[in-house]
Structure 1
């Protein structure tokens, strides 16, 4: 009596992985991510075309609009910032930016406006300070931080990005005026 052999399970194609992050590269695909999703270390991502790939970086980092991910199969995937709900702030920008920064809130600073992520508490505070606040949808790419790169964090700090010790019992005012 012979036994019929069932076919071997189909070999799944290996999912490509990121080998390099480059700028000013030609690309074959795109990935569109909001501000939070552009902060990566190790995860599975999906291109706009539906094709999956893996990213596994030594430490967490923010991907920027205009960067590209070179994959192990030779494909290059351009990073795009997805539109998301934002507050467009106009008025006395230096004063308003100071109050936003005093709350450790990521902000994009432009010549005639400030952009920050939708936040009803901040919108109310900014209106109280005399700002014109408009709710918009747009890609969000805030300023990089005090040292010119990376992502800014409030006092909770992001995991795996905090490499020094300090006591948060220090006094500083989060003025609510």
Structure 2
């Protein structure tokens, strides 16, 4: 196609703390984008979800800023090369998953939740790294349940002891 760059316009998110997966489609984020300019800033932002040829960043370097360089960079590429050379691509099969963790700077809205069976069908699901993320999230959830269950048992035992002490 002769593309200079491609940017996902929708994507999957995986939350390492919970093991949940969502699908984000910024075109449905009316509360975040009330006009096309705001929507473009979202669509061309989120740097995890783009790729470009090396020469384009040499000809039009990233802005020298501490944060949020992705949207200005990609919008600049679109202005320089045109929309036919800087493409938006909807990810409907899971070629890329945004790994969400505590240190993420991005705020992401999930258009809808993805169940475990559908996660298994994503293109990325067979990759070892993604399998490890899912296993770690599952283990963390089991440990959380164990800790919560243990804490609940301790509270119940303490309440029983109080009730027994009051009955005597």
Structure 1 or 2: more strand by fraction:
1
Structure 1 or 2: more helix by fraction:
2
Global fold match (TM > 0.5): no
Structure 1 length-normalised TM: 0.21
Higher RCO (Cα < 8 Å, 6 or more apart) = 2
Structure 2 length-normalised TM: 0.22
